[in-house]
Amino acid sequence: QISEAEVALFSVSSYACQRRTTLDNHNSNLTDALSLLAENAELSNEDGRGVAFRRAAALLKALPTQVISMSQLRGLPCLGEHSLRVIKDVLENGVSSEVESTKQSKRYKALKILTGIFGVGAKTADRWIREGIYNLEQLRDSGQTLNRAQKAGLEHYDDLNEPVTKAEADAIGEIVQKAVNSVLPGSEVALTGGFRRGKLTGHDVDFLITHPEEGKEVGLMPKVVAWLESQGFLLYQKTTRNSYLESKDGPARPASNMDRFERCFSIFKLTKRKEQETASHKIWRAVRVDLVVSPISQFAFAVLGWTGSKLFERELRRWAGHEKNMSLSSHALFDNTQNKYLRATSEEEIFAYLGLEYIPPSERNA
């Protein structure tokens, strides 16, 4: 038995972007539970609840040791009533009854299966469930009209739900580098997303492409995609156009966190190395790859915005708005007090403008 006095108390900042969160999580029993409830809320269009659970999970990820008693959590930020109830349940019973019943619910299971299809979001999955579709077989039999993304998602379902390894991410990085060099020498490719934060696996691979000479990057994406296509590397691609500079009033202040870079959602056909070949003798696998092109003037903001984690990004924007009267996006930082854009060529400069200690990518795993 541990007495109150022996229990270590933690002191933790309230914004995730003020904290150093490595992949070394001492409270995965608690964060797994809260993350599942966050996911369930997001899949049910309850974004507010989702964020609350994500914030609570992120706080626990930042603690230096394992929590063993509720009394250690007294005075900590980000832990709402509901999250505390879940934590208490896990500490006392080993599991949370709410998590267990969610996991077993027919609706949650169906949402997981259906949104596991690339191109299917919570809204579509919910509509299908209301029409009695709970799994892939029922979907195939239903005669639902699928769009091109969803058809590709269904076709490569198993591959796309298999985590991507760092080795596979590096192999794809080499292909993207080669594509970019072939169509515009001097271009640069940066690995972003979870792999930049040091994760060993991911659900996709994220790349940011730029050129050191402003303007040279215009029209780059279609050329890169055409090259990849001609070499047989793409199973699917959809490119969306950048519209950030198209507004007549010049660079409008980013209204939402949805960015306007030229972006390609793709599915790569990655040839397996000999030792990775499976019994099925399939010599390739499908991998989700996101390509984004940024002009060099916005590159630092783009790298920061695409490195994640998603909660770290959300907290950075919340900090900027609430504490600094600034608007941060993946394109720019606007100071509402001075009524001007703040230029930056590195992530370090952006943290400095925001009055935050610099947090390296490996410590942004909130």
What is the widest separation between alpha-carbon atoms in the chain?
68
- 206 assigned to active site: yes
Q: Choosing from 126, 159, 206, 259, which is the catalytic residue?
A: 206
Contacting ligand DGT within 276-335 (CB under 6 A): 305-306, 308-310, 313, 330
- In the complex, what is the shortest distance from the CB of residue 247 to Mg ion, in angstroms, rounded to a whole number? 29
Q: Pick from 153, 193, 254, 361 the residue near Mg ion by CB under 5 A.
A: 193
Per CB under 6 A, the segment of 121-129, 254-262, 334-342, 345-353 that binds ligand DGT is 254-262
**How far is 18 from 357, CA to CA, in rounded Å?**
7
Contacting Mg ion within 283-322 (CB under 5 A): none
Q: How many residues bind ligand DGT (CB under 6 A)?
A: 17
Indicate whether 193 belongs to the interface with ligand DGT (CB under 6 A): yes
Q: Pick from 89, 204, 217, 259 the residue near Mg ion by CB under 5 A.
A: 204
- 170 assigned to active site: no
Indicate whether 159 belongs to the interface with ligand DGT (CB under 6 A): no
- In the complex, what is the shortest distance from the CB of residue 197 to ligand DGT, in angstroms, rounded to a whole number? 7
Indicate whether 361 belongs to the interface with Mg ion (CB under 5 A): no
Indicate whether 206 belongs to the interface with Mg ion (CB under 5 A): yes
Per CB under 5 A, the segment of 64-72, 196-204, 246-254, 271-279 that binds Mg ion is 196-204
Strand partners for 188: 210
Dihedrals phi, psi of 21, to nearest 5 degrees: -115, 105
Strand partners for 189: 209
- 290 assigned to active site: yes
Q: How many residues bind Mg ion (CB under 5 A)?
A: 5
Indicate whether 119 belongs to the interface with ligand DGT (CB under 6 A): no
- In the complex, what is the shortest distance from the CB of residue 208 to Mg ion, in angstroms, rounded to a whole number? 12
Active site residues: 204, 206, 290
